[in-house]
Amino acid sequence: MDANELRSKYIEFFKSKGHAQIQGKSLIPDNDPTVLFTTAGMHPLVPYLLGEPHPAGTRLTDYQKCIRTGDIDAVGDPSHLTCFEMLGNWSLGDYFKEGAITMSFEFLTDPKWLGIPIEKIGVTVFAGEEGIPRDDESAAIWKRLGIPEERIRFLPREDNWWGPAGTTGPCGPDTEMFIDTGRPSCGPDCGPGCKCGKWLEIWNDVFMQYNKTAEGTYEPLARKCVDTGMGIERTVTILNGKKSVYDTEIFAPLIAAVESISGYTYGSDTEKDKSVRIICDHGRAATFILGDPKAVSPSNVGAGYVLRRLIRRAVRHGRKLGIDRLFLTEIAEAVVEKFAAPYPELAENRNRIMEELQQEEQKFLETLQKGEHEFEKLLPNLLKDPRKIISGRLAFKLYDTYGFPIELTEELAAEHGMTINREEFDEAFKKHQELSRAGSEQVFKGGLADHGEQAIKYHTATHLLHKALRMVLGEHVAQKGSNITAERMRFDFSHPAPMTAEEIARVEAIVNEQIQRDLPVTMEIMSLEDAKASGAIALFGEKYEAQVKVYTIGDFSKEVCGGPHVDRTGKLGRFKIQKEQSSSAGVRRIRAVLE
């Protein structure tokens, strides 16, 4: 079974069980400063898992493109990926453990669907801890369905618990489904959940049944939800009896492209195979990011920095295969061709993908030349050292200042009979990583948008600001993105020139007037056509469902939006624009606060 067949079977199965298929969302999350990318299928659904009504109902299913960079350094082994697809189904206060587990079991074992023999399936469930009982209910359901006791394992929190994403909020036990790969077991304690490689996890049902309070207690939720996730690449690997995700048809055209460019045959050399896998994964991830409707460009901050790192790492591994020219657009062509059917935005944005890749690859080659030039300038002094050892601090300076990779410094050193003090370099690099990690901890604190009281106020304020900007600057103004924290809001909009002080003052006055009017904020669910016909503004580049939520603020503003919002504008406080600046060509950015 290939990825396209798995994707369509999954959606077909859950639609037959009363689930509405919803659109997968952008890789760049809206209004969520806690993560750089969409990391899971549930990510765009957080407001609905927290209680917002979803316009498509209480049973949902979709497929979602995801990026996770926590394991970027492990990519190159047979299983790690930064870019992957997630299948999911959700219950928003509808069915719970019985319904979710029964459906999962049917999809896995029924010959009409995946037809996996029951004797190959094992599961894990939550073992319980002080204050939270063990999940005997899930275990009993699996047992009744025919999974024997020895293949149902109770594991602790680190294995079978999800959330909360922040310090408080919805959370609960999960049950994970594993397939026996047929490899020998590592001993008598080997079973589902064992890390030896015999059992591979392919699906996870999360049961959000508790709310963790600020005091650290777990209260049962009145409205229980189910969130599930099945990785396409891993499942296709298992279904086809492959040893690695890279051995599936998903990666075949990408590997063929690398072989054609490099002249290297995949499978001939362990180290070179690793480089091929890195080029395939990173090339696919970069193509998906650049092909997204809300694409970022390579840069030195945030998501743009991750994109730059992916591109440069792929180029570096291209050099290891002997590729000495620009080549990433050829990998991207293979990605677009392979994935444009489920993700048409890749074909729509093909030109941008190719231009950005070529530009960044060219820039990196210039960086490498600059680093080589700096190394040559240092060479006469380096050769005077009889020990023929280059200090790790110097190698790190080349890396930190010129972006020159340590592997290339090692190559140049070896050409002149020298080595590098790797221990010293690794120490400097580790300090650099710790500083970077400390700086980005706020960004990666869990991938749950802040839906606290203050953030909800800011969310409503963006609607007032959007309308005020259109009134002052003209109807061409369209929201291009926003970023909200509990402390401030950032709003990007289309406009060709800087705003004047007078325009800023007028926008501020209009927003504050609407706050003083204490307008009611109401929500209706309607078709997208009806929403547009009623005059509601819909966001640029956003994929909408057939049914959408429309938020109306008195007689002032009407927008298609997922929510959440305050119920009256009088709760917002005083609106103050702190800064208006350029964001990118033809896009301006406003930073504002509620005082």
Residues that constitute the known binding site for Zn(2+): 459, 463, 561, 565
Distance CA(102)–CA(119), nearest Å, equals: 17
Cα dist from 54 to 97, 152, 462, 526, whole Å: 21, 34, 21, 11
User: Per the omega criterion (within 30 degrees of 0), is the bond before 173 cis?
Assistant: no
Instruction: Count Cβ neighbours within 10 Å for each residue of 197-209 and write b for 16 or more, e otherwise.
Output: ebbbbbbbbbbbb
Burial of 581 (C-beta count, 10 Å sphere; 0-12/13-18/19+): exposed
What string of DSSP letters covers 227-276? EEEEEHHHHHHHHTT-SSGGGSTTTHHHHHHHHHHH-PPTTS-HHHHHHH
Percentages of the chain per state (helix, strand, coil), in multiples of 5? 45, 20, 35
Q: State which H helix or E strand residue 594 sits in.
A: strand 587-594
Q: Residue 557 region, left (φ>0) first, then alpha (ψ -120 to 50), else beta?
A: beta
Distance CA(219)–CA(174), nearest Å, equals: 17
Helix (H, G, I), strand (E, B) or coil at 196: coil
Interacting residues of 384 by C-beta distance below 8 A, sequence separation 6+: none
Query: Where is the binding site, in residues?
Result: 459, 463, 561, 565
Angle between helices 136-145 and 97-109 (to 10 degrees): 30
Instruction: Count Cβ neighbours within 10 Å for each residue of 91-108 and write b for 16 or more, e otherwise.
Output: bbbbbbbebbbbbbbebb
Q: What DSSP state is assigned to residue 126? A: E
Q: What DSSP state is assigned to residue 425? A: H
Hunting for tokens 């047992």 — which residue is that?
A: 143
